[in-house]
Amino acid sequence: MSPQEKVFRKGFVWSSIAIAIVAVVGCSIAYLVAGVPGLWSALAGAGLAAIFGLGTQLAALLTVRKDPLVFVGATAASSMAKILLVIVAAMFAQTVEQLVRPAFGATLLAGSVAAIIIDIIVFQRGRIPYVQPGGDSPNNGVR
């Protein structure tokens, strides 16, 4: 497994765990405050946070061994797609009468922010070399 894969996998796993924790806590609080509609609203917010927080990480993890152009294209396309999806879902959520907006919004925001913070920490601490030792240069770089 390459160093890049290790970093992407670690980010994906930790973000998944964080979003799951946010979902459990958000659903519990929403259920206690607003009952079953609050529970479903928080669950919808957590699901949308999972799409937002994990979409690009999954695309990066799946394409890390591909050509660099494929990798960049996949991560850029997934970023744009998830942003559009979150906007459309939030607009659709405005039309649902039973939606408890504070539960939906708070869970969505908490899960998304948690995933972003984890991304920053994982990439900041990740060890990805700039060069590969023992490259293919003739005479190993010696003249």
For residues 140 and 17, what is the distance between their CA atoms, to the nearest angstrom? 44
Answer yes or no: are the C-beta atoms of 23 and 106 closer than 8 Å.
Answer: no
Answer yes or no: are the C-beta atoms of 48 and 72 closer than 8 Å.
Answer: no
pTM for this structure? Answer: 0.81
Within a domain: residue 142? no
Using the predicted structure, report yes or no on whether residue 142 has a pLDDT greater than 70.
no
Answer yes or no: are the C-beta atoms of 93 and 42 closer than 8 Å.
Answer: no
Within a domain: residue 132? no
Tally of domains in the chain: 1
Within a domain: residue 139? no
Within a domain: residue 135? no
Kindly report, residue by residue over 32-51, the tens digit of the pLDDT: 999 999 999 999 999 999 99
Q: How confident is the model at residue 132 (pLDDT cuts 50, 70, 90)?
A: low
Residue 139 is predicted with a pLDDT of 58
Nearest to 14 by CA among 114, 128, 127: 114
Within a domain: residue 21? yes
For residues 79 and 117, what is the distance between their CA atoms, to the nearest angstrom? 16
